[in-house]
Amino acid sequence: MNIAIIGTGYVGLVSGTCFAELGNDVICVDNNEEKINALNKGVVPIYEPGLEELIKKNRRKKKLVFTCDIKEAVRKSKIIFIAVGTPPKDNGDADLKYIEEVSRNIAKYMNNYKVIVEKSTVPVETNKWVKYIMQLNNHKVDFDVASNPEFLKEGSAISDFTHPDRVALGVESERAKKLLLQLYEPLKAPIVVTDIQSAEIIKHASNSFLAAKISFINAVANICEKVGADVEKVAEGMGMDKRIGESFLNAGVGYGGSCFPKDVKAFIRIAEKLDCGFELLKDVERINEKQKKLLFKKIEQSLWILNGKTIGILGIAFKPNTDDIRCAPAIDIIKMLQGEGAKVRAYDPKAMDHAKKILPNVDFCKNSYDVARGSDALVVMTEWPEFKRLSLTKIKKLLNHPIIIDGRNLFDAKKMKKSGFKYTSVGRPDL
């Protein structure tokens, strides 16, 4: 099938590449020339395990092309996915200006029947606006609008895309339904077909529910800390109940990334606009913000005065296996530390280039040991597997004091105590 993906970011690039791998002819479009030029030279602008090889393979087979020419992409394609960003406005609303711009452009160049699919995460009823704008700009050509929200996670995007728990298809015509079912058939995945509004809500509700799960376990972690209980055991005991499930019950410094923070906000806003309100989600946000402050307090409690101290930060990305630092809790913690006059040394296996652009006063190190050298305490902000393999003996020798504050419960508390560290984590007893 001939398909176009407009917006070649995390979602557009991964979806486009995977659709090509499934045998489709895919044109990925972006208005960022630098990005398209890089991709055409074989340079992949994001770090996502396995993606580079898959892009290379499908470009070679001419199944995947990159262009800035939206006109040609629209004309050649039957299904057109919109995968541009939907960032938050200052008031929390999703900013839909890129969606509007792309809808206008698709309408302008459409020459025969197409299905226009929202893949970006959008508030409910966005489809109606897309349809309206398209009709306003082209009343001659027949088209359908559909919603196919994306559920992939950064770091495991390819396997999430190719082995999804479910595919959600919001459609309002048999013709669009048939085409989209045909496109997804090779995945052999469970498919939920629904009206478009419901598909839009499935996405916001899923992300908000997962964020709520994280805030719930973080609130429980704080109770555990007060009484010397262990949140990991509590999560294990809760998660064994199939109705609850074990995933997304890892307590820590809170959720970050380009999606949960913005999507929770956008869902609150759309609920307010529809006169429904969603106080529960406001608490989810409050708990998430509090988690970062609590971790900062733990750093303070381990060193008392932070002014003039050097703090080593392990991990900047919002989670492991990505170079994405959007809304990464590490950035908030680094800024809080600098606000108190502390010096910060930091290392991340993949996110350093992005971090250097927005954190000018951090001493970026070549590896974790370099971070520990001369630091007064070490703070784990991202649970990169390589941190778990560090030699604790070496780390201890390099640190000014054997202090580790673990915002991701990466290390075994008993082992840390045995190795002579003053070790603090989240929701687990300090031994």
**29 interacts with, out of ligand NAD, ligand UGA, none, CB within 5 to 8 A per kind:** ligand NAD
Task: Please report where in the chains the tokens 């075994």 appear, as a residue.
Answer: 412
When the beta carbons of 36 and 317 are compared against ligand UGA, the nearer one is 317
Choose from ligand NAD, ligand UGA, none: what does 102 bind? Cβ within 5-8 Å by kind.
ligand NAD
Rounded to whole angstroms, the Cα distance separating 67 from 79 reads: 17
Choose the contact partner of 252 out of ligand UGA, ligand NAD, none; CB within 5 to 8 A by kind.
Answer: ligand UGA
Count Cα atoms within 13 angstroms, Cβ side, for 174: 0
Residue nearest to ligand UGA (CB): 259
Angle in degrees, CA 9, 313, 304, rounded to 5: 140
The residue of the chain with the least Cβ separation from ligand NAD equals 9
Q: What three-state secondary structure class fits 298?
A: helix
Please identify, using beta-carbon distances, which residue of 245 and 341 lies nearer to ligand UGA: 245
Q: Amino acid identity, residue 85?
A: G
Choose from ligand NAD, ligand UGA, none: what does 30 bind? Cβ within 5-8 Å by kind.
ligand NAD
For residue 159, which phi and psi values (nearest 5 degrees)? -70, -30
Q: Is residue 256 near ligand UGA by the rule CB under 6 A? A: yes
**Amino acid, single-letter form, for residue 360:** P
Binding partner of residue 88 among ligand NAD, ligand UGA, none, CB cut-off 5 to 8 Å per kind: none
Shortest gap between Cβ of 370 and ligand NAD (angstroms)?
30
- Which of 259, 287, 327, 346 binds ligand NAD (CB under 6 A)? It is 259
Amino acid, res. 167: V
255 binds ligand UGA (CB under 6 A): yes
Q: x/- string (CB under 6 A) for ligand UGA, residues 206-235?
A: -x--x---x---------------------
Q: Cα angle at 242 between 319 and 159, to 5 degrees?
A: 40
| Whole-angstrom distance, CA of residue 242 vs CA of residue 248 | 13
Q: Which of residues 298-327 bind ligand UGA (CB under 6 A)?
A: 318-319
11 lines the binding site for ligand NAD (CB under 6 A): yes
Using CB under 6 A, which of 75, 153, 177, 401 touches ligand UGA? 153
Instruction: Choose the binding region for ligand NAD from 83-91, 193-201, 268-276, 387-395 (rule: CB under 6 A).
Output: 83-91
**Bridge pairing between strands 25-29 and 64-67:** parallel
Window 149 to 168, contacts with ligand NAD (CB under 6 A):
150, 152, 154
Distances from the Cα of 338 to the Cα of 216, 345, 346, 424, angstroms: 29, 11, 13, 21
Does the protein bind ligand NAD through residue 102 (CB under 6 A)?
A: yes
Six-digit token string for 406: 């673990």
Selected binder of ligand UGA within 6, 18, 259, 268 (CB under 6 A): 259
Q: Identify whether 259 is a catalytic site residue.
A: yes
Q: Which residue has the tokens 């590896």?
A: 367
Considering only the stretches 21-29, 96-104, 133-141, 145-153, report the one whose residues sit in contact with ligand UGA under the rule CB under 6 A.
Answer: 145-153
Alpha-carbon span 32 to 388, nearest angstrom:
38
* 15 contributes a contact to ligand NAD by CB under 6 A: no
d(CA 14, CA 166): 17
Does 98 bind ligand NAD (CB under 6 A)? Our answer is yes
In the sheet where 422-424 sits, what is the strand order? 363-364, 343-347, 310-314, 377-380, 403-406, 422-424
- Does the protein bind ligand UGA through residue 409 (CB under 6 A)? no
CA distance 84 to 96: 9
124 forms part of the interface with ligand UGA (CB under 6 A): no
Cβ proximity to ligand UGA, 107 vs 327, nearer residue? 327
Cβ-proximal residues to 211 (8 Å cutoff; 6+ apart), any chain:
255, 260, 263, 264, 281, 284, 288
Catalytic residues, by residue number, are 259
| Contacts with ligand NAD, residue ranges (CB under 6 A) | 6-12, 29-32, 35, 83-86, 98, 101-102, 120-121, 150, 152, 154, 258-259
